[in-house]
Structure 1
Amino acid sequence: MNMKEVRDKARELGVKVAVGWTKTTAIREVQIAEGFDPCYGRGLYDVCGQPHCCFRSDCEKIPAKN
């Protein structure tokens, strides 16, 4: 998902994406608004327990941080 798509998703949920926010910050705020834990980009997709998160496919592409 690109940043425009993230902003559109945020707007649908009433989340205001502030100037200067990174894509990761914006996605985590959307996750919170949707009732998910804000775990995007932390390399936890295999244990996060949120298979219905709309960012999961993007998250799976990010390597785990060890």
Structure 2
Amino acid sequence: MTFAEIKAIAKERGIKVGGVKKIDLVRSLQAQEGNEPCFATGRAAECGQLHCLWIKSCE
């Protein structure tokens, strides 16, 4: 997913996107979805959040 697509999702959900880094924006979206905000923390293989929208692009 591109950063522009992530920004669009965030805007739709009422999250401010100006001056926010991709990682922080995805983590905000994860928290809003009820998931642990762990994007790009190196725990993708062990997080257990298989329903997370961001799991495929997580590191």
Return the TM-score normalized by structure 1.
0.79
Unaligned ranges ≥5, structure 2: none
CA distance in 1, matches of 2:11, 2:19: 16
Partner of 1:14: 14
What TM-score do the two structures reach when normalised by structure 2?
0.87
Matched pairs, number: 59
Q: How does 1:1-66 map to 2 (within 5 A)?
A: 1-17=1-17, 19-59=18-58, 62=59
Q: Which amino acid aligns with 1:15?
A: I
Runs of 4+ in 1 over 4 A off after TM superposition: none
